[in-house]
Each structure stands twice: as structure tokens, then as C-alpha cells.
Amino acid sequence: MDPSRTKPATIADVAARAGVSVPTVSRVLTGAAKVSPAKREAVEAAIAALGFRPSAAARVLASRKAQVIAVIAGDTSQYGYAETIRGIEEAARAGDYTVMITVVESTDDDEIDRAIAATLSQPLAGVCVLKFDPPGVAALHRIPPSLPVVALSGVREPGLRQAVLDESRAAEELTDHLLDLGHATVHHVRVPPSRREDGRTTGWRRALKRRGAVVPPLSDASWDPRSGIEIGRRLADDPTVTAVFCGNDEIAMGVIRGIVASGRRVPDDISVAGFDDHPLASLWTPPLTTVDQDFAGLGRRGLQLLLNEIAGETGRRFSSERPQLVVRESTAPPPADAAVRRIV
Amino acid sequence: MDPSRTKPATIADVAARAGVSVPTVSRVLTGAAKVSPAKREAVEAAIAALGFRPSAAARVLASRKAQVIAVIAGDTSQYGYAETIRGIEEAARAGDYTVMITVVESTDDDEIDRAIAATLSQPLAGVCVLKFDPPGVAALHRIPPSLPVVALSGVREPGLRQAVLDESRAAEELTDHLLDLGHATVHHVRVPPSRREDGRTTGWRRALKRRGAVVPPLSDASWDPRSGIEIGRRLADDPTVTAVFCGNDEIAMGVIRGIVASGRRVPDDISVAGFDDHPLASLWTPPLTTVDQDFAGLGRRGLQLLLNEIAGETGRRFSSERPQLVVRESTAPPPADAAVRRIV
DNA sequence: CTGAAAGCGCTAACAA
DNA sequence: TTGTTAGCGCTTTCAG
């Protein structure tokens, strides 16, 4: 009587109630083989009446086919990660897959193995690795080669099935925008890089070199927006700094805060640009010039690639998209005296 | 030779290689029964040599015990949700559980069932429902009663195993703070409520009534920070408005933007407070007065409660924590003329 | 189209 | 302590 004590119906219960054999029930469940309309209806009625839900565990065991996608990420609450995961989940749900999340916080192999052990012992259809930071990159190498894998990141790499957001091209375009405004060079604040050099930094450097501008030393920020404040202060103290490109919008907000605290204005004295087009970027004072990254789309594309591989398709192993430059009010031409100084 | 074609080792392979029976391998795996050191070592060596990883599906099927926790949420990329999920995942990983995420976007029973069907067919140890919005609330009722469930939310409700962040107390305190500053009353901008009335709104109303202040009409915002802009404009147009309490920090940022665009100052003309202590709240101009919510802690506490229930403990069914008021610079006494108008 | 028989990889009694 | 014997709930041959 107590529903909480009723144990779930099995396929045998359904078969009995519908007056058919167990394999017939299985056939209507999987839709694999033809079943006469009469029996099919009887089975469906029994399923509904019993509230039967097939056990995924038994199913996986018998069919050797899983319906779970594991997502491995270095972080889940950062804007970009959270959005990417949202896109993955959305696409997975549409394809009747379920998403499992595992966070890896370290780059140490043993720690990674420990973190992903519970997940890898699950029956997995495939794995999505968010390769935006060192832990994500390290985790990629610990996935058994027998599992279909797709990497999502900001830089193309050979030999990998991956969906990317072409950050270096976008960063190059953003740097060009600043240079076009008349700045002699552009400083860069880097967020924790995924490799020796991430796409944003690469694009920035490439634009500077192509235009013959000096490549100033990098500043390194953490993921915490407040880490930008001190960097902003330091940059503001250097009178030759007129343009700063930050690795993400949140750091840009911190940097602006630090610059303003030092008594210099944005963009009048110093232009500051971010990256990502965070939901608050347009609300910031001043509204941020940035690059719109479609993270949710990246997640969807990545999952699609993975599903293709799972289906055994030999087609595309790669999907790239170019983020869009969004010019707002935090970037402007350098102040007149800076321009003069440059010419001299 | 090709590792990608090697099929995974089974427990039988391990047993054969170690020269023991299958159940003995199982015993060292589960640690349930005593095994002689010699055999244990042989088994462990075989496991390592073969890179054996037990199949969770088979394990679940045989033992009827799952190691997966499903998290059902209405959103995953919002700051509060993302942080809560991070806390859940962290605690789950520590307890060797794995976390599965499912998003429900609708409040329609059929759609919810469709969304969670794939997840519920998995062998689940328990379910965490993030009950902060209407889809989350609706989803709670669609979980089979046979499954251990814990609800995470901002308001206590009887009959539920739940971890809460006592929002109404905190909202009351925040409203009191504004009233203490000398404001005649406080306006409220609500984010999509989880019930007829959410904790933030309840606390606000309670404080106002207790202090004998007028309860002004509510404004409703969406989750998009930009929806606050228009509301800010409208509020700024009403000269009697001197204090606004927004349902979250992001909306507060939008509201401030709208107020400033209308030519009024924050906090000089109008005080604005948020809720959540978003990572950018302290960087905003002006830095936001808000309430610090420990979402990650909420997630950890909730998961702990769920683990207790799974372990069959009859102990605490409830865990509550009081968010902390954080006073920064977006709130101040009302302008002198407003005070006069109030006395008259 | 349908049913009978045989597992999937593991754990849980039960003897030994 | 250890091995033997039975399944867990489902899918997959294979006959019919």
C-alpha cells in the first residue's frame, strides 16, 4: 500500500500483465524489431499501468550501450564553464543522454585519477573534456583510449576530436581594434592559461608583431575578479600604458576598478577591453568592449561531435567558430599627449 | 595491439590471473569480507596489471546499490545555481559519489517527466532538487517517492528533507538596515519567485509591517540583469522612491544602471541593495550592499543530508543557515529633502 | 512476428 | 577464509 515500499516493476511484470514474453516487451522498449500492433498496445498499456521504468543498469549490462555522457571540467561555476555545460546538457537531453559532471582541481595524475575514478566506472557513452585550464588539459590524458572523447577549448590542436572557439583570431581582431584607435601598443592581462600560451595571448601577440608594435610584458591574474584591481593600479602607475586587453570580462572589471582608484579614467586615459561578453559586460561603467563567445553553442557543437563518434560516423572531427568583436565604450583613442609622446 | 580495440578486463580475468575465485576478487573490491593478505595482494597485483575497472552497471544490478546522485535544477549557469552545484559535486566526490545534472525548464508535468526520464532510469542513490524557481518546485513532485530526496532552497517547508539558506531572515535584516538609515519605506524588485512568495519577498514585507512602513507595490524582473534597467528608470521617475531592495545582485546592477541613466545618483538620491554577494558585487560602482549567501555550503550541507538518508540514518532532516548582511556603499541615508517630505 | 535459452559482470547467500 | 551456486533486469541470439 505504501508507495515508498513498493518495489519497482520489472520487465517480467510487464510481460505477465500484457500476456506476452519478456523479449517482446524488450522489443517495444528498444523499437529494434517489429511487434504486432495488438501486442505493442497491450505492452504499452501494461507499462503505463505499472509505471514501469526500465533499469538502465540492466540495460547497459545486457546491451553494452550506455546513455551517459561524462563532462570533466576544471571549474563549473565560472561563467564560461557554466554556460558551456548548459549547452552540453541541453543537447544531451535532446538526444536522450544524461550528463554527469566531474570536477578536477589538480594537474597531478594521481589526484585526477582519483577524481574521475567514480565517474569512469560508470557505464559511459562518451566523455566531454573542458580543456580551458591546466587541470582540464591534464585530465584529457587520463581518459582511457577506449572511450569516445571530445575536447572543448579555445585553441585548435591536431589529433583531437574537438569543438573550439577560435580565440586567437578574435583576440587578434580585438588587438587590431585597439591599435586602429591609435594606441602605440596594447598591454595584456592573462587569466590562468590552458597551455604554455592560450589562444587569447597568442592572438594578441600576433597582432602586435604584425603591426610592428612593441610587445609589453604580460600580467598574470587569477580567476578572482579582484585580482585585477592590483594589476589595474600597477598599470595605471605607468604613464605609457594607454590600452589593456584582459583575458576575460571579470578581470577587466577588476582592472578598471584599479585604474579608476588610481585616479585615471577609462577610456579617456586608458582603454580596457575584456573577453567573453559576460552578461554584466554591457551594464558595467563604462560598458565593456569585449568579444562575444557563444559558450552554450560550443557545448552543443561539442556534444554533437561526440554523438557522431558514438554513432560510429567517421565524419567531422572538428568544429570551429569565430567569436565576435563587440565594441562598447571602454575603448577609445589614446589621450592627445600620449599620441604626441608616441610620435616623438 | 590497438588499445582502443582491447575490450576491458572483467572480474573473471582478474580472478584467473590472480589464481582465485571470482567472489574473492569481489571481496577485495568491496572490502566486505576478510581475505587473506596473500590472496589480497595477488588480486591487487592482477587488478593493476590488467587495468581493471569494475563495471558500475553490473555492480548496481547485483547489489542494488547505486553511487550516483542526480541533481535537478531549473538553471545551471546562474551564479547561485552554479555555486550550489559546485558544492554538491565537491561533497559527492569526497564521498565517492558521482553527480548527474538534469535541467528542467518547464513547470508542465509532462515536460518535466520527459526531461527527467533518462535520469530517473539510471540507478540512482538519491536526488537533490534545487528548489529556487518554479520548474524546480514542480520537479520535486515528479520524483518517485521510493527515491531518497533532499530539497535545497531559500525557505523552510515542513515535511521535506531539506537544506536551506534562511533568506527571509536575511531579507528582513537588510530591509531593517535600509529603514534604520532613515528611509520611509523600501521598494522591492523580485526575481522569478519559487512560490507564490519567496523568502526574500517575505522578509522584506515582514520588516516593513513590523516597522509600520507602507508596503509599496512589487516590481518583477526576469533573470536577465538588463531587465533591471527599465525597472530602475521607472523607479527613478517616482520622486518618493529612496530605497530599493533587489532580489539579486545582478538585477541590482541593472536597476542602478537605469537609475543613473535617469539622472539620479546611487546612493545619494536612491539607495539600492542586492542579494547573494555575487563575486562582482564589491567591484560595482558603487560597491553593492548585499547579503552573502554561501551557496556552495548549501550544496555541501544538502548532499550530506542526502547521504545520511541513504545510509538509513534517521537523524537530522533539516539544515538551515543564516546569510550575512554585507554593508557596502550602495546604501546611505535618504536625501535631506526626502526626509523632510516624510516628516511632513 | 514471437518465444525459449543464454548470457552481460558482478554480488550475495550458502556450504565447505 | 574460500569456492560454489544463484541470480540482479535486461537484450540478444536462434528457432519456429
Last residue of a domain, one of B65, B87, B102: B65
Question: What integer pLDDT is reported at residue A3 of this predicted model?
Answer: 41
- pLDDT at A6 (0 to 100): 62
Is A141 among the domain residues? no
Give yes or no for residue A2 having a pLDDT over 50.
Answer: no
Q: Are B316 and B160 in contact (CB under 8 A)?
A: no
Asked if B337 and B188 sit in the same domain, the reply is yes
Q: Which residue has the cell 604613464?
A: A239
Domain boundary among A65, A87, A118: A65
Task: For residues A218 and A329, state if they share a domain.
Answer: yes
Residue B101 domain-assigned (yes or no) = no
- Given a contact cutoff of 8 angstroms between Cβ atoms, the answer to whether B43 and B24 are in contact is yes
SS3 A70: strand
pTM score over 0.85: yes
The answer, yes or no, to whether residue A156 has pLDDT greater than 90, is: no
Q: What is the pLDDT of residue B2?
A: 37
Gap from A299 CA to D8 C1', Å: 36
Residue B267 resides in a domain = yes
On whether the CB atoms of residues B243 and B186 are closer than 8 A, the answer is yes
Which residues of B are less than 8 Å from A144 in CB distance?
Answer: 51, 53
Q: How far is CA B273 from CA A73, A147, A272, B215, B263, in A?
A: 34, 49, 27, 17, 19
pLDDT at B338: 67
The predicted model gives A197-221 an average pLDDT of 95
Q: Is the confidence at residue A28, as pLDDT, over 60?
A: yes
SS (H, E, C) A229-245: HHHHHHHHHCCCCCEEE
Residue A206 is part of a domain; what is its CATH number? 3.40.50.2300
Nearest CA in chain A to B57: A57
Q: Is the dihedral of CA A233, A239, A240, A242 positive or negative?
A: positive
Residue A68 CB coordination number (10 Å): 25
* pLDDT over 70 (residue A340): no
CA A160 to chain centre: 16
Rounded-to-10 torsion of CA A187, A193, A197, A203: -50
Query: Is residue B91 in a domain?
Result: no
| Containing structural domain, residue A217 | 167-293+325-343
Interface contact B123, partner A, CB < 8 A = yes
Mutate to test the interface with A, among B76, B97, B250 (most CBs of A within 10 A): B76
Chain A neighbours among B 77-116 (CB < 8 Å)? 77, 79, 82-83, 85-86, 89-90, 93, 96-103, 115
Size of interface A-B (CB pairs under 8 A): 159
Nearest to B280 among A57, A85, A250 (CB): A250
CB A299 within 8 A of CB A91: yes
Domain count, chain B: 2
B222 and B338 in a single domain? The answer is yes
Residues B61 and B187 in one domain: no
What is the signed CA dihedral for B72, B74, B78, B82, rounded to 10 degrees? 0
Does residue B305 sit within a domain?
no
B287-325: pLDDT as tens digits: 999 999 999 999 999 999 999 988 877 778 899 999 999
* Rounded distance between C-alpha atoms, residue B338 and residue B182, angstroms: 10
Return the DSSP state at A322: P
Distance CA B263, CA B236 (A): 8
Q: How far is the CA of A232 from the C1' of C11 (A)?
A: 60
Residue A153 DSSP symbol: E
In the structure grid, which three cell numbers stand for residue A258, read together?
Answer: 584599479
Closest CA to A339 of A185, A117, A120, A108: A185
**HSE value, Cβ hemisphere, 13 Å, CA-based, for A4:** 5
Collapsed DSSP state (helix, strand, coil) of residue A16:
helix
In a domain, A140, yes or no: no
Where does residue B277 fall: left (phi above 0), alpha (psi -120 to 50 degrees), or beta otherwise? left
> Which of A65, A99, A115 marks a domain boundary?
A65
Residue A7 is predicted with a pLDDT of 73
Same domain as B192, residue B330: yes
What pLDDT was estimated at residue B132? Answer: 87
- Asked whether residue A5 carries a pLDDT value surpassing 90, the answer given is no
A135 membership: H or E segment, kind and range: helix A134-140
Q: Which nucleotides of C are covered by protein (CB under 7 A)?
A: 1-5, 7-13
Residue B175 forms part of a structural domain: yes
Peptide bond into B267 cis (omega under 30): yes
- SS3 of residue A313 by DSSP: coil
Whether residue B317 lies inside any domain: the answer is no
- A344 CB contact with strand D at below 7 Å: no
What is the least distance, in Å, from the CA of B20 to any CA of chain A? 23
Q: Which residues is B102 bridged to in the sheet?
A: B72
Residue A45, domain CATH: 1.10.260.40
Mean pLDDT of chain A: 91
Instruction: Tell me which protein residue sits closest to nucleotide D7, measuring alpha carbon to C1'.
Output: B62
User: Given a cut of 50, is residue A344 above it in pLDDT?
Assistant: no
State whether A338 and A202 are in the same domain.
yes
Q: How far is B281 from chain A (nearest CA, A)?
A: 10
Q: How far apart are CA A286 and CA A270, in angstroms?
A: 12
Residues of chain B with pLDDT under 70: 1-6, 194-196, 338-344
Task: Provide mean pLDDT across the span A298-307.
Answer: 96
The three state secondary structure string of chain B is CCCCCCCCCCHHHHHHHHCCCHHHHHHHHHCCCCCCHHHHHHHHHHHHHHCCCCCHHHHHHHHCCCCEEEEEECCCCCHHHHHHHHHHHHHHHHCCCEEEEEECCCCCHHHHHHHHHHHHCCCCCEEEEECCCHHHHHHHCCCCCCCCEEEEECCCCCCCCEEEECHHHHHHHHHHHHHHCCCCCCEEEECCCCCCCCHHHHHHHHHHHHCCCCCCCCEECCCCCCHHHHHHHHHHHCCCCCEEEECCHHHHHHHHHHHHHCCCCCCCCCEEECCECCCCCCCCCCCCEEEECCHHHHHHHHHHHHHHHHCCCCCCCEEEECCEEECCCCCCCCCHHHHHHHHC
Are A326 and A290 a contacting pair, CB within 8 Å? yes
- Cα B283 from Cα B272, distance rounded (Å): 15
For residue B327 the three cell numbers come to: 554593508
Sequence-separated (6 or more) residues with CB below 8 Å from residue A171: A199, A200, A201, A202, A203, A204, A207, A245, A275, A291
- Which DSSP state fits A286? S
Cα–Cα distance for residue pair A81/A76, rounded to 1 Å: 5
pLDDT of residue B315: 75
Least confident of A48-57, A169-178, B182-191, B324-333: A48-57
Residue A99's pLDDT is 94
Q: Does B229 touch chain A (CB under 8 A)?
A: yes
What CA–CA distance (Å, rounded) separates B255 from A108?
45
**pLDDT number for residue B100:** 94
> Half-sphere exposure of residue A124, counting CA atoms within 13 Å on the CB side?
32
What are the distances in angstroms from CA A268 to CA A286, B270, B290? 11, 28, 31
In sequence order, the β-bridge partners of residue A243 are A271
Residues A254-263: tens digit of each pLDDT: 999 999 999 9
Handedness of CA A155, A157, A160, A161 (dihedral sign): positive
Give the nearest partner residue to B101 out of A101, A254, A280, using CB atoms: A101
DSSP A8: P
Residues with CB under 7 A from strand C: A 20-24, 27, 33-36, 38-39, 58, 61-62, 64; B 7, 10-12, 22-23, 25-26, 29-30, 32, 52, 54-55, 58-59, 61-63, 65
Cell readout for A254 is 577588476
Say how far apart CA B102 and CA B131 lie, in whole Å.
13
Nearby residues of A63 by Cβ (< 8 Å), 6 or more positions away: none
| Mean of pLDDT values over A111-134 | 91
Residues A57 and A175 in one domain: no
- Whether a cis peptide bond, with omega within 30° of 0, leads into A217 is no
Of chain B residues 281-300, which have a CB less than 8 A from chain A? 282-283, 285
CA geometry: angle at B269 spanning B264 and B270, to 5°?
95
Q: Taking Cα atoms as reference points, which of A141, A174, A137 lies closest to residue A152?
A: A137
Q: So what's the pLDDT on residue A24?
A: 92
